[in-house]
Amino acid sequence: MKTKQRIFLIGFMGSGKSTLGNELANQLNYKYIDTDAWIEENEKRKISEIFETSGEDYFRKKEREALLSVIQKERIVIATGGGLPCFFDNMKIITNNGTSFFLEIQPEDLLERLKGETNHRPLLSEKKETELLEWMEYKLNERNVFYSNADYTINGNLPVDSLIHEIVKKIHV
Ligand code: S3P
């Protein structure tokens, strides 16, 4: 059921979903869950290890399981992995089962945020810094098709407090 009591934060890695999600959940007195953390806990291993030993397809299936599990909960803020909305019909499940916010950030700003931490991010670990911007522009283009189905698009460069204010205004809680 589409509800305001289930808030999805979607967007590219590095867009600030976890920081915002934690803070928003605190302020609303909602639970907070990060689908990556759900998977790591469920699998008892790190995302990077899952990619390395079981492959991306396996990881995407686990993301789907995480999504189907979190939509059973209410009064919850859910930060999804950057790729989650872009596989299977996950984005449809998101929009049907909660209020979704896409944290939009331009590739140049994402590059600044991500270039120092490519090691533990499986999709970035093989890339040279010079390739990163081009890859991100390409990926964002591809993923925006899914992200743009969110109920609301918000500017990920705004301070967390302003984003929370904007979200709370939209959901009227
Ligand atoms: C991924 C983003 C990561 C994580 C995995 C794959 C992606 O999550 O799920 O490394 O495909 O963009 P964050 O967006 O939380 O970094």
- In this prediction, residue 173 has a pLDDT band, given cuts at 50, 70 and 90, of low
What percentage of the chain has pLDDT greater than the value 90? Answer: 83
Structure confidence by residue, pLDDT tens digits, 44-90: 999 999 999 999 999 999 999 999 999 999 999 999 999 999 999 99
| Whether the Cβ atoms of residue 151 and residue 91 lie closer than 8 Å to each other | no
Residue of 36, 46, 62 best suited for mutating to test ligand 1, as the one with most atoms within 8 Å of CB: 36
Whether the CB of 13 sits within 6 Å of ligand 1: yes
In which element (H, E) is residue 31 found? strand 31-34
Token pair of 7 as six digits: 């808030």
Q: Give the separation between CA 67 and CA 78, rounded to whole angstroms.
A: 9
Q: How far is the CA of 30 from the centre of ligand 1 (A)?
A: 23
Whether the CB of 122 sits within 6 Å of ligand 1: yes
| Phi/psi at 136 (5° precision) | -65, -40
What percentage of the chain has pLDDT greater than the value 70? Answer: 99
